[in-house]
A and B are shown apart, each in its own frame.
Chain A
Amino acid sequence: MRIPPSITQKIAKISLTLACASAVAALVFVIGFVLVGGLKHVTWAFLTEPILDMGRAGGILPAIVGTILMVFVAIGIAAPLGIASAIYLAEYTQEGKVTQTIRFGINCLAGVPSIIFGLFGFILFVVMLGFGWSIISGGLSLAAMVLPTIIRTAEEAMRAVPRNYRDVAASLGATRWQVVTRAVLPYALPGVLTGVILGIGRSIEETAVVIFTAGSAVQMPRSLFDSARTMSVHFYILAREGISNDNAYATAAVLICTILVINITAYTMMHRLMRGRRAA
């Protein structure tokens, strides 16, 4: 028996809608669960007080500071390095053996599981270079982890810049570097920033790498060579050790709000930049 196409069309449409609805439901469930459980415990004091009694009392200020510093170090290193790599790949060279090798390296690096970055950072930065469990070790390891994301996104953005932008700039006598900085980069900026923001997001959510390389000290870090925990690590420890479910939820709520804000800002910023360009 053949089912008429109009019926299969209907069945398909309904089941696809259901599939998509369940994915969205998962999203709503995860975010809702955390926000409902956590937001009621988030107070100003929670955001500004030190971690007391292993996290059972007090706030999460050191974890917030730790997160910011670690992300700062990671992005401060990965962004210039990544954007420079992308400029080289997109603007300064022809496809060939060299770029193929570099691209292979980037792709492999992108696939390396975070736990391996953790092992690597532990051996190289913590033990061999003697940085100890510290923000700097954590930041460097995170930088290695987010580098491929930044390179790929930035390169893609630069490749999307129309050929004639470069040609016009070059015909006006601009050097290659001037072409890059004045014609290509401004146009590619939204894409490049997306990559950087993706990198920030990944650094914030990462747990394994940070525990292995930055330790999990609860004190407020005084220098980049002090150990610190990020909010993700703090949440992990609170939730897993059953120290305080309320504070775990609250930390997760702060964490998710941060990520929501970053994503939404990034998205609207990208949107505005694109629209502005189309209008110009």
Chain B
Amino acid sequence: MNRISMKALAVFVSCGFVFAALASNGCSRASANSITLAGSTAFQPFAEKLAERYGETHKDVQINVQGGGSAVGIQSALSGAAQIGMADLLELPPEAAALKSTVVARDGIAIVVNPVNSIKALTIDQARDVFSGKVANWKDLGGSDSPIHVISREEGSGTRRSFDKLVLVGAKLAPSALFQNSTGTVRQAVASDPTAIGYVSIGLVNDKVKALTYNGVPANDTNVKNGSYPLARPIFLLTKGEPSPQTKAFLDYMLSDEAQKTLEKEGLIAAK
């Protein structure tokens, strides 16, 4: 055997070993000090924020925040892929019965249009008609003569399910609706299209989009809190069985006054 061939062989064999070692290591799942949260993309940015804050004082704990969606939140909490599942639904589906659920915050849903749009308010019926495609031109609502581009979340999203229940009430979404798969992208799409209409978390409303008053009530935190603005849903944290000490500590942190204040500042409504 010459030198090069020995070396090449050594590389092959060691690669094999590394692979085998990694594979066997995988079953015992990495660092015990890591907590994974997965689920609702609506709550994901807020969870990341809290994890960032928490990490400043708890350097030994690694907190992974994953999106995926509310359904993934429930699934991964059930399967153990995540220690904490996140879901933003009006009511939890039956399969979540095995999980312990805690409401961490409430989130309002604002109907948004492009800032150049002259429309400022929608009644309950108008909102339903627009999103179901019955009214397809802004002039029917007193706006400019241009087609309405409805932008919705995709089928299965927690925000979408809540919106369907609260606004569409049995009617079907307009067949021509465009879909974006997170609230941030809905905002982005509405911000770039003068004739678009969509819905996002109240916390995400910024100067690039305009929130409409719904049934005469402006979409803001105060109105969600006092119950006069009806478009809101709870955000659940889901755990299976008895959480580990680390998980419990982080859960407690998320419900602490400090964290709740952070959430309020970021645009959610505190659970308490």
Contact = CB atoms under 8 A, between A and B. Distances in A.
Interface of A: 52-54, 76-77, 80-81, 84, 126-127, 129-134, 136, 177-178, 181-182, 185, 215-219, 222-227, 240-243
A134 B22 CA distance: 12
B184 interface: yes
Contacts of B11: 80
A218 B2 contact: no
Contacts of A177: 5
Interface of B: 2, 4-5, 8, 11-12, 15, 18-19, 22-23, 25-27, 29-31, 34, 36, 38, 45, 48-49, 51-52, 55, 62-67, 79, 81, 182, 184-185, 187-188, 191, 208
Contacts of A223: 30-31
Contact of B64 (A181, A217, A224): A217
Nearest to B66: A215
Nearest to B181: A240
The 4 closest A-B pairs by CB, nearest first: A241-B184, A225-B30, A242-B188, A217-B64
Interface centre among A52, A178, A222, A227, by most B CB within 10 Å?
A227
Given A130-B29, A240-B182, A76 B15 contact: yes
Contact of A242 (B5, B51, B65, B187): B187
User: At the interface, is chain A mostly helix, strand, loop or mixed?
Assistant: loop
Given A178-B2, A241-B184, A219 B55 contact: yes
Nearest to A222: B62
B81 A132 contact: yes
A58 to B, nearest CB: 10
B42 to A, nearest CB: 11
A210 to B, nearest CB: 13
Contacts of B34: 222, 226
B26 A80 contact: no
Given A178-B5, A215-B66, A84 B22 contact: no
Nearest to A131: B26
Contacts of B191: 242
Contacts of A136: 22, 26
